[in-house]
Structure formats: C-alpha cells, structure tokens
Amino acid sequence: MGKELEGKTISSETESKPSLQLQFEVSVFDLYKHYYQVRLTVETNQNQICFCLPNWTPGSYMIRDYATHLHKFEAINFTNQEPVSWEMVDLHRWKLNNLPPKFEITYIIYAFEDFTVRTNYLETEFGFINPPALFLYPEGRLDTPTTVEFKVSEFFPNIYTSLPRDENNFHKFYSNHFDELFDSPFHLSKKNSVFFTAGSTKHELLIEGDVSFDFKTKLSNDLQKITETQIQWMQESPNQSYLFVLNLSLPAYGGLEHKASSINYFNPELIHDDEEYKRLLELLSHEYFHLWNIKRIRPIALGPFDYQKPNLTRELWIAEGFTSFYDAYFLYHAGFLNLEEYLNKLQSDIFSLEDNDADFWMSLEESSFTAWTKYYKRNGNSHNITVSYYTKGGVLALCMNLFLLQESKDKKTIRHVFHKLNEVFVKEKQRGFTKQEFFDVTKEVTGVDLKLEFNEYLESPKPIPVDVYLDHIGIHRIQTDLVGDTGFKTKEKNGNLYVQKILHKLNYESIDLMLDDEILAINGKRATNSILQKLEKNLRPGEKFHLILSRAGKIKETMVTASGFYKTRKFVVSEDCSAEKKELREYFLRNIV
C-alpha cells in the first residue's frame, strides 16, 4: 500500500529503497611517520551500515589482514559534529548505528611495513596505495560508485592510476563500483611519465627512481614492441589506455596485474645488466598478458570476489601458468631473446621441477587450490613438497601447444583457444569458465581432446614427460658428466657454515641433517667454504663423507652418501630428425602459437 504525496502515489518499496553516496578524501597525515589519513563522507537514508576492509588483494592469493594497519577509527555527524555510534564487530568490520543523513568516517593507515606491490607505502619520494588495503567498503554494497580525491599536492604533484579523473581536478577520480576501485592502484610521485601507442591503446609508463631519460626511452620503445606482439597475438586491444608503473627506488622484485594497469618492482642496481634487463622485460610482459588472461579470460572462481575470504580455484595453472609460458615466448618473438636464450629459459623451468621431489607430492590442481596456505606461506621444506603452478603450469602450456601442433589438422593452438574463450565467455556470457568448459572449447577449436592427454598431470602428483612433447619439434635433451651431490645447500655467517636447504629426492638417502645445523668439520677438516667447494668438485655418486655438526649446543657426527646429478644438461635443436618435426619446429619458432 502506497501513500499520497502531492497527488502522486509512492510505493513503500520505492520509499524504503536504500540510497548511498560515498566520497573518499586521502591525505598525508604524517609523511615521516608513514601515515595516510582517509576521510569518507557518507550520505544515506539507511539506519545502519557495516563498513569492511578487505583481507586480501586479487592476484595475490593470501589472507593479509590489512586491518592490522588501520588506526583511530572515528565517525561524526556532518551537520552537528556529534559522534556517531559505532562498534567493531570483528577484526575487519565496523558497524555504525542510528545514522544521520550525512556523516564522516576518518581513520589512519600505516604504510611502511612492507615494500611490495600489494601493500601501501609512503615515504618522502613517493607514495603507493593498494586500494584493498586502504578503502573501506559498505558490506553488501560493492556495486556503489565512489569518488576519490587526494589532498597531497604539497608532497606529490602527480597521481598515477587507471581510473578516470575529473576534468577540473586532476587529483579527483571516479569508480563505478568497488571492484573497479580495488583494481586501480594509485602511485603518488614527483616524477613525470612517458607515453607510447600500441594497437589502438595509449600506454603510459611511470618509472619511480633515478634513471636517465635514455633508459626511459629505451624501455618505452621495448615495451611498445612487447605490447604490439601481444595485441597481435590476441587480435585486439581491450583498453583505450593502459598504465605501467615501474618502481626502481629500492631492491625488490614482483608484479601485480590489474585490468588497465600493472604495478612492477625491480632492483635498480640490476637494470644495466643485459641479462637482468631481459628479466625485467619478462616481468613486464607477464603482467601485461594478464590484462587478457585472468582479468578478462578467467577461471570462473576468480570473480566476482569475496574480499573477506579466499576465492578458491584449481585452475591457476591456466591463469598464471599459461602466462608464465607466454611471457618469455613473446620476448622471443619480439626479438629480445635469441633461440639459445629462449631454450635456456624453457630448460631452467623444466630442470627446476626435476631438481626436487615436489612433483610426487603435489598435483597442479592442489598447488592452485592451496596457494593461500602453501605457495604463499613457504617454509624451509616447501621446495621439496610444493609445486609452483607458475612453473609447472608454464611447462604444461608448452607441452599442450606442442601436442596441438602435432595433432590438430590446421595447427590450431592455445592462441586460437583464447580467441574463442574471449568471444564466448568475456563478450557473450560475461563470466569465467569452468575446467570442463575450457577443455570443451579447446576440443571445439582444435579437434583435439587435451583433457584426455593431460588431465592426469593436473589431478595427480605426477611429472609431465616433457621430452616426449619436445621431441615433436625435434628438440632433445643432452646429459653428461654424472657427478656427486651432497644433498644440501649452505650459507656462511661470520665465517661459519650453516645448513640452509636440504634437498629431498626419491633416490636420495635420508640423512641426519637439520636446517641451521652448523657444519664444524668435513672429513676431519675444519669446515670452510673452500673445503666444501673442493668436496663438491670431486664428489662421486655413492661416495660417503663425514660431517661433524653443532646442533642445539650439542656435537653430532653423521655420514652422508652422495647422490648423483648431471653437471651438464641442456636441450638442443636436432638437425637429425624427420622433415615433419623440422616443419613443426619452424612453425613454433616463426609463428606465435
């Protein structure tokens, strides 16, 4: 039943429809103490609202408890400046009651604990804001539009983000909903950016750190080649604009993808080393490819997000693994890696999987599903029992592509599968895909049942027979110089040797050795780095050696039997192979599959 108002009937449903307007203001509370201040102005007809701070950031699969760094929460009536009633109902939620039509929330965020792409940071030269770690959202109302205005011009004249900005205020930005806000980090800087165009997209590159104009120009030109290669691979560019932020201010490594930007950290001391520069390009290539693979073409569990608990998926081998294959593959096709360098990249990943026992402990799907508690929470034994969905997923993508080249009639590959996934799930259905849907589309596009061929390597802890698939294109393994291996790695501290890593392999004997054991003597001689290196150089498989250790204040002795490994191992191109294999190899190396 409605009620009459000026001759019109207004339904109770319309009358009670909750309204909500949110305006954030971000300022520097104390630059030297690394505090941001956030002021949130709220206009509403609701009597009660819960505001929450996210627990994690999409793309970084670990609960991070961002509320740890939120302090001095307050709420006041905008009109009379009286306090608004509130209580903290759990570690990440604040419930406000008896709300006036307009009120303000203020709080302080500490931003200096970690220098990473997923945490806030504030110092005298720049500031970084990872939005899930800074902005409260109204529970159940992630669809609410927001404005964000920065009051930081006295410290940082430039604000870099992918969000649209106000035409009259370059420090004011708009988001259509919180998913967009949380996917749009802010970098506060005194530096100026450079621009380049690839495809139909205008790209912006901001480098934080002391670098020359020549370096900016070189990197900008190189990124243009990489982005053009990827756009050509996908046959479209989904963004009108894209922002690269590269922080070279402190030694660090990492990247985080976003729908229209990426945040990348790299060690400034390494950028002029040729090999390290290519590693930087590989990082940037990886994060850029994510604007398709994961930000649009994605497993169904990776959106929409619950920012309070994990979004679990068994398909990170697609989202991250395929990206890990293509990041270096694009560099090869863009001319930054020669064939030998590219093969070295491939074999480095393959050998890293073979150098431990993890393939027999964890499947690729388990690696993905447990990323929150295992891959992102590594310990001293993780290398022995934890498979990387990045590394093994990348090797799987290689093998799938080679198998498709061999079996599909028209040389259809993952590239063509991604085109179809983009068409069906991004543009038509506007959702992610299930594992079965991925394999169904692959079979539809290529005529090949990839699930039949590869599912056992997804569901079971089992090594992928890489050599079988590389043989399809006439690339084979060479292994020579079988030598002994101690089965452990050490670190030196104040001239003393300590056990840093213990390697478990099926063919290794278990040894009485623990992490942080101090090695006092090796075969009766005082342990030094040079003595250990001499042992490692001359050790033979099956040979025994004697260690004297100090453990928890006690002296221990142990005998170790050396295992074996091939000192020289590599994959090489075979000229003594069939014409069919040579043809497939040329196709793989000359065309972007």
254 belongs to a structural domain = yes
Q: What is the 3-state secondary structure (H, E, C) of 519-583?
A: EEEECCEECCHHHHHHHHHHCCCCCEEEEEEEECCEEEEEEEECEEEEEEEEEEECCCCCHHHHH
Query: What pLDDT, on the 0 to 100 scale, is given for residue 12?
Result: 44
Q: Are residues 260 and 239 in the same domain?
A: yes
Indicate the residue type of 509.
E
Domain boundary among 239, 274, 309: 274
CATH number at residue 245: 3.30.2010.30
Domain housing 499: 480-568
Give me the percent of the chain exceeding a pLDDT of 70.
97
145 contact partners, CB below 8 Å, separation of at least 6: 22, 174, 175, 176, 177
Query: What pLDDT, on the 0 to 100 scale, is given for residue 359?
Result: 95
Query: What pLDDT, on the 0 to 100 scale, is given for residue 16?
Result: 61
Query: What pLDDT, on the 0 to 100 scale, is given for residue 507?
Result: 64
pLDDT surpassing 80 at residue 282 = yes
CATH number at residue 556: 2.30.42.10
Q: Are residues 180 and 161 in the same domain?
A: yes
286 belongs to a structural domain = no
Q: How far apart are the first and last CA of the chain?
A: 63
5 belongs to a structural domain = no
Q: How confident is the model at residue 520 (pLDDT cuts 50, 70, 90)?
A: very high
C-alpha to C-alpha distances, 429 to 234, 298, 312, 476, 580, nearest whole angstrom = 19, 12, 21, 42, 39
533 belongs to a structural domain = yes
Contact of 317 with 392, CB cutoff 8 Å: yes
pLDDT surpassing 50 at residue 322 = yes
pLDDT surpassing 70 at residue 121 = yes
Domain boundary among 188, 205, 220: 188
Q: Are residues 60 and 110 in the same domain?
A: yes
How far apart CA 441 and CA 378 sit, in angstroms, is 35
What confidence tens digit (pLDDT) does each residue in 43-87 have?
999 999 999 999 999 999 999 999 999 999 999 999 999 999 999
Q: Are residues 400 and 321 in the same domain?
A: yes
Measured on CA atoms in the order 361, 365, 368, 372, is the torsion positive or negative?
negative
Q: Are residues 111 and 208 in the same domain?
A: no
pLDDT surpassing 80 at residue 188 = yes
Q: Are residues 348 and 424 in the same domain?
A: yes
Q: Are residues 442 and 586 in the same domain?
A: yes
Query: What pLDDT, on the 0 to 100 scale, is given for residue 14?
Result: 44
Query: What pLDDT, on the 0 to 100 scale, is given for residue 549?
Result: 97
Q: Which of 7-21, 441-455, 511-525 is predicted least confidently? A: 7-21
Which DSSP helix (H) or strand (E) runs through 590? helix 579-590
267 belongs to a structural domain = yes
CATH number at residue 379: 1.10.390.10
Q: Are residues 381 and 464 in the same domain?
A: yes
Q: Are residues 446 and 298 in the same domain?
A: yes
Q: Are residues 435 and 509 in the same domain?
A: no
Closest CA to 587 of 472, 478, 448, 419: 472
**Lateral strand order in the sheet of 93-96:** 86-90, 93-96, 49-52, 137-138
Closest CA to 480 of 574, 566, 570, 351: 566
* Mean pLDDT of all residues in 200-209: 98
Query: What pLDDT, on the 0 to 100 scale, is given for residue 506?
Result: 66
Q: Are residues 310 and 455 in the same domain?
A: yes
Query: What pLDDT, on the 0 to 100 scale, is given for residue 505?
Result: 80
Statement: the pTM of the whole predicted model exceeds 0.85: yes
Number of domains into which the chain is organized: 4
Length of the chain in terms of residues written: 593
**Bridge partners (DSSP) listed for residue 21:** 43
Query: What pLDDT, on the 0 to 100 scale, is given for residue 458?
Result: 98
Domain boundary among 130, 164, 188: 188
Q: How confident is the model at residue 509 (pLDDT cuts 50, 70, 90)?
A: confident
Q: Which of 16-25, 186-195, 524-533 is predicted least confidently? A: 16-25
Contact of 262 with 246, CB cutoff 8 Å: no
387 belongs to a structural domain = yes
Q: Is 17 left (phi over 0), alpha (psi -120 to 50) or beta?
A: beta
91 belongs to a structural domain = yes
Mean model confidence pLDDT for the chain = 95
Q: Are residues 463 and 527 in the same domain?
A: no
7 belongs to a structural domain = no
C-alpha to C-alpha distances, 11 to 7, 18, 229, 327, 377, nearest whole angstrom = 13, 14, 56, 56, 53
pLDDT surpassing 50 at residue 4 = no
Greater model confidence, 592 or 430: 430
CATH number at residue 108: 2.60.40.3650
Give me the percent of the chain exceeding a pLDDT of 90.
93
How far apart CA 581 and CA 468 sit, in angstroms, is 12
Q: How confident is the model at residue 113 (pLDDT cuts 50, 70, 90)?
A: confident
